[in-house]
Amino acid sequence: MIGGFSTPKKDKALKSSGGKLVKTGEILVRGIDTYKAGVNVRGLGTLFASCAGKVYFTRKKTSHGKLRTFVNVAPLAKTAKK
């Protein structure tokens, strides 16, 4: 384990679920490579919201047939019109 500790680190996780309202700069995913940045989301290891809005997930296949999960944020202006 890292640093001689007997338990793994617990800060690597999904921080916000689908449908949750987030603010600009709020961390969505930390330390998990299975989630990729989608619309209005930035970052590589730590994904954060680039605008305020509602979180949603999409799944797409790559050209090699691998399934990827993307974290997206729908801006508040678009969600208020519906």
Mean pLDDT by groups of 10 residues along the chain of 82 residues: 65 88 94 91 93 95 92 79 54
What is the per-residue pLDDT for 37? Answer: 95
Cα distance between residue 16 and residue 11, in whole Å: 13
Choosing among 1.10.3720.10, 3.40.50.300, 2.40.50.100, 3.30.360.10, the CATH entry for 13-81 is 2.40.50.100
What is the DSSP-derived secondary structure letter of residue 5? -
What is the per-residue pLDDT for 76? Answer: 87
Cα distance between residue 82 and residue 77, in whole Å: 9
